Structure 1
Amino acid sequence: MEELEPPFRKIIHVDMDAFYASVEQLDNPELKGKPVAVGGSSVRGVVSAASYEARKYGVRSAMSGVLARKKCPSLLFVKPRFARYKEISLQIRKIFYEYTDLVEPLSLDEAYLDVTENKKGNPSASLIAQEIRERIWEELGLRASAGISINKFLAKVASDINKPNGQKTIHPEEVVPFLEELSVGKFYGVGKVTAAKMYNLGIFTGLDLKQKTLEELTRLFGKSGGFYYNIVRGIHHSKVKPDRVRKSIAAERTFNENLSSEIYMLDKLEHIAEELEKRMKHSKAKGKTVTLKIKYSDFTQQTRSKTVHKYVQRKEEFFPIIKELLLQDTLKNSVRLLGISLSNLNTEKKDPVWIQLEFDF
């Protein structure tokens, strides 16, 4: 049997279970055991998160509030409280740091931990993951799942296997057979479109994927082909990065009604720009690349960008560029979402910032 070459890292991926919805049930006991959706129930509302009671009815994140209500008539909608979610996220992270400084947050509700060498001197990553999950429950009243393996890719895949409130360890000797049997649709980094393409090519499992040469995969999937070639062999060298560089800061808004007039769009963009300026000043950041994000009523998306020679931060500096980007080409349809971001920032190695999508409820 094919074997992997040591040395191996000990990586844990911790993923909170239905985080936003669980926080709402924690803070409001009347919601416990009931189907809960964090988001909006209006025509333009979108589900940000769903409790496991709601998921039994097929309610999922990113689903429209109207469809979610059809699937689960007893669904209870709660408006998101991102400040509260971040507050608890920071408490969870404090627990992580008691075990290792190599913590890489991916979002408010998940993170990678490298515990190859850890502050507890515990050689078992599985026992560390179990202890962390127990502490999160005892100290915060929330459930978490975890995946443990030799690299970030495998840990991420493993954390989803025994959800909710479970964990899965993929030991070094189990990696090759595990990946060969795994459906390609379960591979982290393989989305629905790519999975469908693989199915059409007769690639259903890791073993099927393994039969393809690097040249074939590169021809079929471009640069991603090399990634697929390596991960199916258990090769993933990405390290846990505790100092993730912030790449952009953004603000965006989804509208109750589609916009078809550029005059109305500019008015909305004025308000979005004001919010972005606040966030830039709060982060003490400036950027050189200005990007306008447009999502149309048919859910297709477009971005238009321009890079300037000097750093900008204030609305009066970057809004003329946004106006130029909006008017540079005819819009193909009515618009349901507009967003502005500044990237190519002057900051380096700062703590990550999570800017949540804003909805009109």
Structure 2
Amino acid sequence: MSDTAITVVRKIIHIDMDAFYASVEQRDNPDYRGKPIVVGGLPEGRGGVVATASYEARKFGVRSAMPSKKAKQLCPQAIFVRPRFDAYKDASRQIREIFSRYTDLIEPLSLDEAYLDVTEDKLGIGSAIEVATQIKQAIKDELNLTASAGVSINKFVAKIASDINKPDGLKFIGPSSIEAFMEQLPVDKFYGVGRVTADKMKRMGLHTGADLKRLTEDEMQQHFGKVGRFYYRIVRGIDDRPVNPHRETKSLGAEDTFPYDLTTAEEMFPELEKITKTVCDRLERYGLKGRTITLKIKYSDFRQITRNQSFPHPVGDAETIISTAKSLLLATGIDDVRIRLLGISLSNFGEVERPSLIKGDSNQLRLF
């Protein structure tokens, strides 16, 4: 018997919904169809932040994470819509059900994207491109939404591929094409390379994957720390990470950015109570309790702090959460401050029964 190892080439699909929140709003409200829709905070008052924008709004330069006031300036005719997360989660669960027809190896990344390993698909189709095509068509036919798909042999390349032909795109990057594809890719298109790192790379004369390949692994680590080893590998198309349907839940929480700065306890405490209710609803849904409660505060100058308290046993009741959050807030000193955001999260989860999980769902906080 030969000792030669057999290497299995994975078939990985990355599905990314197109302008997901905005598309759900346009689907559910005929008046929004074909119009520039911005989902997120309203531009009035101090203004909020854009969660996502329809493609009609993106033509004007509106982008996610942009201040809503700037979005309004770029696209004065935009229709601003507050998020309806229950509707998005419901659509996500339906999308997840479509995925599960083809594979159980599903790794959700957020409400609107996931990795699928279809090396051995349930229906015996054999072709990852065909599976991706069928999934896209099912989402369109059954949910009246569109998705873009990237297909390759690993997660990193599949994710980049899904962004190439948006919206309603499908891109396959085969094994023989990966290295050449990565060489021509601009560094700011590398998933995991943020703006600051991309700017640093460009200052070093590193503009594309081909430029990055000039550096040795030691040089990559010297310039970029531990993540440099990851960059060294992925620029060569090497990504051995499996699709993991059981990623551990790290934390669960909720936060809110307010239309106007909060300056007194009388204003802050009711907001903490609202946030606590949202957190408790999510804890109950996923059957979780945590040993650590964390309070997040962002001030009007965008300075941000967190404070936390840990318990010897997991907690999840509203009374404990709200009393702890108020105590942590008071301990920071709230005289002469202006607060624009408050958030509460729980972490350090204990082993508790999860009766409310839908059969087949892993304990993801943001179910796909």
TM-score relative to the length of structure 2 = 0.89
Q: By how many angstroms is 1:35 displaced?
A: 0.9
Q: By how many angstroms is 1:29 displaced?
A: 2.0
Q: Which amino acid aligns with 1:237?
A: D
- Whether 2:260 is the aligned partner of 1:248: answer no
> What is the CA deviation profile of residues 83-111 of structure 1, one whole-angstrom value per residue up to 9, with x for unaligned ones?
11111111111111111111111112111
The answer for the alignment partner of 1:20 in structure 2 is: 21
The answer for the alignment partner of 1:47 in structure 2 is: 50
Output the CA distance in 2 between the equivalents of 1:199 and 1:260.
Answer: 43
- Whether 2:19 is the aligned partner of 1:7: answer no
* 1:260 to 1:210, Cα distance in 2 relative to 1, 3 A: farther
The answer for the alignment partner of 1:223 in structure 2 is: 226
Output the CA distance in 2 between the equivalents of 1:121 and 1:166.
Answer: 24
* 1:246 to 1:54, Cα distance in 2 relative to 1, 3 A: same
Q: Which amino acid aligns with 1:271?
A: K
The answer for the alignment partner of 2:357 in structure 1 is: none
Q: By how many angstroms is 1:177 displaced?
A: 0.9
Output the CA distance in 2 between the equivalents of 1:90 and 1:264.
Answer: 36
- Specify the SS of the correspondent of 2:97: helix
Q: By how many angstroms is 1:72 displaced?
A: 0.8
Counterpart contact for 1:287–1:313, Cα < 8 Å: yes
> What is the CA deviation profile of residues 7-53 of structure 1, one whole-angstrom value per residue up to 9, with x for unaligned ones?
32110001111111111111222222111111223232322211101
Counterpart contact for 2:107–2:245, Cα < 8 Å: yes
What aligned pairs does 1:204-223 form with structure 2 within 5 A after superposition?
204-223=207-226
Counterpart contact for 1:98–1:119, Cα < 8 Å: yes
Q: Which amino acid aligns with 1:325?
A: L
Output the CA distance in 2 between the equivalents of 1:159 and 1:106.
Answer: 14
Q: Which runs of 5+ in 2 are unaligned?
A: 1-5, 353-360
The answer for the alignment partner of 1:74 in structure 2 is: 77
* 1:333 to 1:175, Cα distance in 2 relative to 1, 3 A: farther
- Whether 2:348 is the aligned partner of 1:344: answer yes
Alignment equivalent of 1:64, drawn from 60, 67, 73: 67
The answer for the alignment partner of 2:240 in structure 1 is: 237
* 1:264 to 1:72, Cα distance in 2 relative to 1, 3 A: same
TM-score relative to the length of structure 1 = 0.90
* 1:296 to 1:11, Cα distance in 2 relative to 1, 3 A: same
> What is the CA deviation profile of residues 302-350 of structure 1, one whole-angstrom value per residue up to 9, with x for unaligned ones?
3223332221112332444434433444579632111010001124894
Counterpart contact for 1:246–1:350, Cα < 8 Å: no
> What is the CA deviation profile of residues 197-233 of structure 1, one whole-angstrom value per residue up to 9, with x for unaligned ones?
1111111111111222222222222221121111112
What aligned pairs does 1:320-331 form with structure 2 within 5 A after superposition?
320-329=323-332
* 1:306 to 1:225, Cα distance in 2 relative to 1, 3 A: farther
- Whether 2:153 is the aligned partner of 1:150: answer yes
Counterpart contact for 1:13–1:159, Cα < 8 Å: yes
> What is the CA deviation profile of residues 157-207 of structure 1, one whole-angstrom value per residue up to 9, with x for unaligned ones?
110011111111110011111111111100000111111111111111111
- Specify the SS of the correspondent of 2:177: helix
Counterpart contact for 2:286–2:363, Cα < 8 Å: no
- Whether 2:365 is the aligned partner of 1:353: answer yes
The answer for the alignment partner of 1:112 in structure 2 is: 115
- Whether 2:178 is the aligned partner of 1:175: answer yes
Q: Which runs of 5+ in 1 are unaligned?
A: 356-361
Counterpart contact for 1:246–1:347, Cα < 8 Å: no
Query: Identity over the aligned pairs, expressed in percent?
Result: 53
Q: Which amino acid aligns with 2:93?
A: L
Counterpart contact for 1:246–1:352, Cα < 8 Å: yes
Q: By how many angstroms is 1:268 displaced?
A: 2.7
Kindly report structure 1 stretches of 4+ aligned residues shifted beyond 6 Å: none
After superposition, the CA RMSD in angstroms is 2.2
Counterpart contact for 1:100–1:113, Cα < 8 Å: yes
Q: By how many angstroms is 1:81 displaced?
A: 1.6
Output the CA distance in 2 between the equivalents of 1:273 and 1:35.
Answer: 33
* 1:187 to 1:6, Cα distance in 2 relative to 1, 3 A: farther
* 1:79 to 1:118, Cα distance in 2 relative to 1, 3 A: same
* 1:354 to 1:209, Cα distance in 2 relative to 1, 3 A: same
Output the CA distance in 1 between the equivalents of 2:277 and 2:18.
Answer: 34
Output the CA distance in 1 between the equivalents of 2:337 and 2:233.
Answer: 41
Alignment equivalent of 1:313, drawn from 312, 316, 329: 316
The answer for the alignment partner of 2:35 in structure 1 is: 34
Q: Which amino acid aligns with 1:317?
A: T
